[in-house]
Amino acid sequence: MSRIKVGVLVGSLRKDSFCLKLSKALKEVAPESLELENVEIGELALYNQDLDEPGYLPEAWTVFREKMKSCDAVLFVSPEYNRSVPAVLKNALDVGSRPPSKSVWGGKPGAVLTASPGAIGGFGANHHLRQTLSCLNVPTMQAPEAYLGNIATVFDENGNLTSERTRGFLQKFMESYVIWVDKNKLT
């Protein structure tokens, strides 16, 4: 049985990002049927339609688009900046959605996990991202919702997840996600 290839987009560029640490923890608890791979978004030039032409197309856009096309599903792990998604993640959504007839997103089952050192766990970013994903035709898992607050307290100094409660939640989230992907994946 082949594994389901999931592109993981981490919405933070910081080298010690909590979301990057979360993406590692998600790989540890993911069911065997899922193959999670982080997809680089930090090198993407800001979307500009003038560049989306032969001879001008940034190589990073082509690499990103091809990588996402090869994925069966997508998982977004993001912090919250000013009650919204970070610009780097929104830019990746824009780059992947163009040109409209060649969007890499259409129909790929997705899920959103947001995290914050604050108590509400990126609630605003989570819902803002979901709104954008509906426009891009990404069927997004509705439950369990994932807003991880106080995220700074669940990792040790080496970036390892130490909270068994959080590990249990992530495992439940990923078990639900594999069912969601199986029901909604493109054939």
Neighbours of 148 (CB within 10 A): 21
pLDDT exceeding 70 applies to what percent of the chain? 99
When pLDDT is averaged across residues 15-21 and rounded to a whole number, the result is 96
As to burial, measured by CB atoms within 10 angstroms (0-12 exposed, 13-18 middle, 19+ buried), residue 59 is exposed
- Predicted pLDDT at 34: 97
| Cβ pair 110, 136 in contact under 8 A | no
Whether the predicted pLDDT of 187 surpasses 80: no
* Across 58-86, average pLDDT: 97
What's this model's pTM, rounded to 2 decimal places? 0.96
pLDDT digits (tens, 9 = 90+) for 80-138: 999 999 999 999 999 999 998 999 999 999 999 999 999 999 999 999 999 999 999 99
Q: Contact 45/61 with Cβ under 8 angstroms?
A: yes
**pLDDT tens digit sequence for 151-163:** 999 999 999 999 9
Where in the chain does DSSP place strands (E)? 4-10, 34-38, 73-78, 110-115, 146-148
Domain membership of residue 134 as a residue range:
4-184
Q: Is the pLDDT of residue 50 over 90?
A: yes
pLDDT confidence band for 185 (50 / 70 / 90): confident
The CATH number for 48's domain is: 3.40.50.360
- What strand order describes the sheet that includes 110-115? 34-38, 4-10, 73-78, 110-115, 146-148
pLDDT for res 173: 98
Domains of the chain: total: 1
Distance CA 32, CA 43 (A): 30
